[in-house]
Structure 1
């Protein structure tokens, strides 16, 4: 029997994950219904962080955050990008209208009619791993040097945050602006314009690296905030462009009268393996993720890591400020794997590729198993809440949206956890399951 392939489309996906923020929430999150119809303020909103030196020129090495960080912009967020001409169109490379207005707060037309289009990160062309492929210009031997991106998000209380952290995937160079202030200049000369090439060509592992810039001052405002990015090629003949960005914020100390608590939660987790369709791997020392080739995991079919955390002990009156997964990577990959909210229940000690709870083979929601059901696209939200890769073994922090934890606490009956997957990637990623496993760390405030 031909095995089913689960390949997620890049544009126009309906998001199955949509959280309703309570009145005391400090970040706004929205579902993405139809990117083609969205206006600039729509998309995956976030907020949490603030204050310091407004320019971060030198990236730090990847390391655990020194204190809780909240997710402001997910690396899978929806962006608006200025559409360059398509190949052989005869069009000239474009720059945003109105000078610097595209990167400043205020009225700016980034609608389809004005030449801007929507797309989920990662955006780019030439590598084959983009979620949104963008045009490079009229001539493949004379590509447009610069691509432009905008994303809006909502913050209700900027004072909650101390400094900002940018995690930037860029090929080749980039400049990042928050509310009109340049906060990152990466692999670009000190003075640059629309035709300025990147300082060096990005190759090898740097093409898959999220460079970390911390200590960025908090210039967030109450309400709508704007992050804008320009990505520059090294030359007009470069074959590829890549862009994704995560914006996090360090929590400021709580105000007088508020108690802050940080707690950890151990995971229930299991690998499900398409090549071992009826084998339960809950006793394995690792939770595996792999795509079609499985070159590192000795399999020619998919492996998915399922993980869940019981957070019902978080007090109902607490405001969740930050959350992350503290993981131990034992098998590295440059590939990006999505963390998707599961929409179907499962039992750790019994779950397999074709059986979610040990009671009936083929009882996953997606069709195609022995008795019709197997794990597949009907069992998880189409849009990931974030992505993860790991270029080195050891500790790896994955920041999560606070609203996701809030949803799990408030509607525990629908907390089925996360599926780590990407069915088109070809290099496996393994997490150790010893100790607390894929540990969830949550920070919350109480009066």
Structure 2
């Protein structure tokens, strides 16, 4: 079976850009040497530089945020990033031309200005990046700071009260929304392009989306900008990771508007490449695994399929927020994409090689023993979001409201979503007894 690879490398791109000295942001900082050379007891304590949300003192991890929320920026979104030089990089690390990189949508972040683009997760060194960014020519003299920008559109900022950032960062990061610093995570209070992260990020923390809630809404009508700088702990660190999700809590509806939240039970099924003709539609667990079989002993895949009948949403209703509510029974740090399905299927009959109980007109990807098998022709290549779980229990997964709108308006066939990743190998299981993977939708009506 053909396996998609969602990693784009631009390591050779940096050679095209000059290593000019550019103006640094006007922020005071402690240098790399001043932090790394300090000894215990001399006034520097990593605890003094713990995770800091400028709007909430104790950021949560892995806890479901308050809902309803609208997904404004997906953790799989495309970002522009400043390309570091390919020669003598440690001595000529590039910084944005001026401070408007984090505040202005008219800032020039084109290839000609030294910027490139790619889908999150972005970084290097771990092998799970969708976009690999360059660190320069010397693994022992890397650039401390990487810079990222993403623009998104908001039609009516008054719909939202506060904002929530879910941030994956290795090692530290600062997040700006329309020029306002809203999250400072694993960084000292004063920082600059040469400031190292306050502590080294290792193990499960490298895969954690830290949740920062209660952020003031400073969105504007039209184009908005979210900008992030990611800092390493040292110039010899082997990896950098970055992904971000931005959600907005709904404000109360306007006078005369009725707001309704409905919950929809799922039809869901696991399909397994190792059990190509077995239907698992009645199973109480939906499994996702990039290498199914006991102890990941094979290279075959498991995919979870889920769909929802949403005809109870009134025609013409305005979809404001949507999320999935499920229960994790097997955890993984790996990230699995939720991909829109392009091929119809039947829960009680679907298998790896048969979407509906009839071996004619089946999955559209070639390679099956009959007329195709499940594969890359049956789902959209770009996921709408990603999910992982570092703990068992309830898992909330925000979805783009526009996806539900398009399903309800019949602009997009509602064949549901496929949870999959054909590269990672750790399993993720959802308990699907009862209502299964519930879809929760909030909508407004006059």
Aligned partners of 2:137, 2:381: CA distance in 1, in Å?
33
1:373 maps to 372
The 8 Å contact of residues 72 and 249 in structure 1, kept in 2 or not, is answered as: yes
2:254 maps to 255
1:364 maps to 363
User: Aligned to 2:111, what secondary structure does the other structure show?
Assistant: coil
Residue 305 (structure 1) shift: 0.1
User: Aligned to 2:444, what secondary structure does the other structure show?
Assistant: strand
State how 1:157-168 maps to structure 2 within 5 Å.
Answer: 157-168=156-167
User: Aligned to 1:408, what secondary structure does the other structure show?
Assistant: helix
Aligned partners of 1:362, 1:123: CA distance in 2, in Å?
38
Would the alpha carbon gap of residues 239 and 162 (structure 1) be closer, same or farther in structure 2, given more than 3 Å must change? same
The 8 Å contact of residues 320 and 442 in structure 1, kept in 2 or not, is answered as: yes
Would the alpha carbon gap of residues 443 and 88 (structure 1) be closer, same or farther in structure 2, given more than 3 Å must change? same
Residue 5 (structure 1) shift: 3.8
1:169-200: CA deviation from partner (whole Å, max 9, x where unpaired): 00000000000000000000000000100000
Would the alpha carbon gap of residues 87 and 282 (structure 1) be closer, same or farther in structure 2, given more than 3 Å must change? farther
1:50-76: CA deviation from partner (whole Å, max 9, x where unpaired): xxx964564213222333000000000
The 8 Å contact of residues 291 and 297 in structure 2, kept in 1 or not, is answered as: no
1:385 maps to 384
The 8 Å contact of residues 354 and 373 in structure 1, kept in 2 or not, is answered as: yes
Aligned partners of 1:300, 1:133: CA distance in 2, in Å?
24
Would the alpha carbon gap of residues 106 and 287 (structure 1) be closer, same or farther in structure 2, given more than 3 Å must change? closer
2:143 maps to 144
User: Aligned to 1:323, what secondary structure does the other structure show?
Assistant: strand
Residue 354 (structure 1) shift: 0.4
User: Aligned to 1:345, what secondary structure does the other structure show?
Assistant: coil
1:338 maps to 337
Aligned partners of 1:151, 1:89: CA distance in 2, in Å?
25
Aligned partners of 1:295, 1:393: CA distance in 2, in Å?
20
2:85 maps to 85
Q: 2:7 aligns with which of 4, 7, 10?
A: 10
Tell me if 1:315 matches 2:304: no
Aligned partners of 1:321, 1:300: CA distance in 2, in Å?
40
Aligned partners of 1:55, 1:85: CA distance in 2, in Å?
35
State how 1:158-197 maps to structure 2 within 5 Å.
Answer: 158-197=157-196
Would the alpha carbon gap of residues 239 and 361 (structure 1) be closer, same or farther in structure 2, given more than 3 Å must change? farther
State how 1:294-313 maps to structure 2 within 5 Å.
Answer: 300-313=299-312
Aligned partners of 2:3, 2:186: CA distance in 1, in Å?
36
Aligned partners of 1:425, 1:257: CA distance in 2, in Å?
49
Tell me if 1:324 matches 2:323: yes
The TM-score, its normalising length taken from structure 2, stands at 0.87
State how 1:46-445 maps to structure 2 within 5 Å.
Answer: 55-56=55-56, 58-86=58-86, 92-98=92-98, 100-292=99-291, 300-360=299-359, 363-411=362-410, 414-445=413-444
Aligned partners of 1:297, 1:141: CA distance in 2, in Å?
35
The 8 Å contact of residues 72 and 248 in structure 2, kept in 1 or not, is answered as: yes
User: Aligned to 1:113, what secondary structure does the other structure show?
Assistant: helix
The 8 Å contact of residues 308 and 439 in structure 2, kept in 1 or not, is answered as: yes
Structure 1 unaligned regions, length at least 5 = 13-52
The 8 Å contact of residues 105 and 225 in structure 2, kept in 1 or not, is answered as: no
User: Aligned to 2:406, what secondary structure does the other structure show?
Assistant: helix
1:194-216: CA deviation from partner (whole Å, max 9, x where unpaired): 01000000001000000000000
Residue 413 (structure 1) shift: 7.4
The 8 Å contact of residues 5 and 423 in structure 1, kept in 2 or not, is answered as: no
Greater C-alpha radius of gyration: 2
RMSD: 1.8
Aligned partners of 1:249, 1:413: CA distance in 2, in Å?
25
Aligned partners of 2:354, 2:86: CA distance in 1, in Å?
46
The 8 Å contact of residues 62 and 391 in structure 2, kept in 1 or not, is answered as: no
Aligned residues: 403
Residue 352 (structure 1) shift: 0.3
The 8 Å contact of residues 146 and 230 in structure 1, kept in 2 or not, is answered as: yes
Aligned partners of 2:428, 2:6: CA distance in 1, in Å?
22
Higher mean alpha-carbon deviation, 135-144 vs 292-301, is at 292-301
User: Aligned to 2:61, what secondary structure does the other structure show?
Assistant: coil
The 8 Å contact of residues 62 and 389 in structure 2, kept in 1 or not, is answered as: no
Aligned partners of 2:433, 2:347: CA distance in 1, in Å?
15
Would the alpha carbon gap of residues 90 and 161 (structure 1) be closer, same or farther in structure 2, given more than 3 Å must change? closer
Would the alpha carbon gap of residues 62 and 413 (structure 1) be closer, same or farther in structure 2, given more than 3 Å must change? closer
